[in-house]
Amino acid sequence: MEQWTGREAPSLEDIEAMAEAARADLPEAFRPAAGAVVLRVEDFAPDALLDEMGIEDPFELTGLYEGVPMTEKSVSDPSGPDVIWLFRRPILDEWAARGDVNLDALVAHVFVHEMAHHFGWSDGDIASIDRWWE
pLDDT value at position 27?
84
Of 33-37, 111-115, 122-126, where does mean pLDDT reach its minimum? 122-126
pLDDT at position 122, please? 75
Could you tell me the residue range of the domain that residue 31 belongs to?
Answer: 12-65+81-124
Residue at 76 is within a domain:
no
Please report whether residue 119 resides in a domain: yes
Residue at 97 is within a domain: yes
Residue 129 located in a structural domain: no
42: domain CATH number?
A: 3.30.2010.20
Q: 38 lies in a domain?
A: yes
The answer to whether the Cα torsion of 86, 88, 94, 99 is positive or negative is positive
Tens digits of per-residue pLDDT, 65-90?
A: 998 888 887 777 666 789 999 999 99
- What is the reported pLDDT for 77? 66
For residues 33-70, one letter each, b for 16 or more C-beta atoms within 10 angstroms of the residue's C-beta and e for the rest, the string is ebeebebebeeebeeebbeeeeeeebbebbbbbbbeee
pLDDT in tens, 40-64: 999 999 999 999 999 999 999 999 9
57 to 11, 44, 53, 131: CA distances (angstroms): 21, 10, 11, 25
Percent of the chain residues topping a pLDDT of 90: 57
Q: Which amino acid is at 39?
A: L
